[in-house]
Amino acid sequence: MDLSNLTIGPMSSLTLASGRTLKSTDSTGYVAVLTSTYASSKSLKLGGTVTVGGKSFTIVGLVSGSTSSDVFIPLTVAQTLSRRPATSAPST
């Protein structure tokens, strides 16, 4: 998830249920925000961990609402895990 503008993108229509959302200082951190539904189905809790791409992420927030994604991590970290070079977000 691109942390440069949180008012747009996949989390913009979601509601924070507990904890916090991702913030710009999380850009290289192994932190994650999960949907409450996903967390409940996997018995995951705020402050616990979730494994993505073989790496452990601390769960810093839970959100509710309609989305096609269950786990949100910083874009730079996702690019590192996928071994894709980091690029800046396209300008509009």
User: Does the pLDDT at position 20 exceed 70?
Assistant: yes
Does residue 5 fall inside a structural domain? no
Does residue 72 fall inside a structural domain? yes
More reliable by pLDDT, 66 or 37? 37
Q: Are 53 and 25 in contact (CB under 8 A)?
A: no
Tell me the average pLDDT of the chain. Answer: 84
Does residue 26 fall inside a structural domain? yes
Distance in angstroms (rounded) separating the CA atoms of residues 73 and 38: 14
Q: Are 71 and 32 in contact (CB under 8 A)?
A: yes
The boundaries of the domain holding residue 28 are 16-81
CB atoms inside a 10 Å sphere around CB 69: 14
Does residue 67 fall inside a structural domain? yes
Whether the model pTM is above 0.85: no
How many domains does the structure of the chain reveal? 1
CB atoms inside a 10 Å sphere around CB 8: 12
Pairing of strands 15-19, 55-64: antiparallel
pLDDT at 2: 56
Does residue 77 fall inside a structural domain? yes
Does residue 34 fall inside a structural domain? yes
Does residue 11 fall inside a structural domain? no
Q: What is the pLDDT of residues 49-83, one digit of tens each?
A: 999 999 999 999 999 988 888 999 998 899 898 88
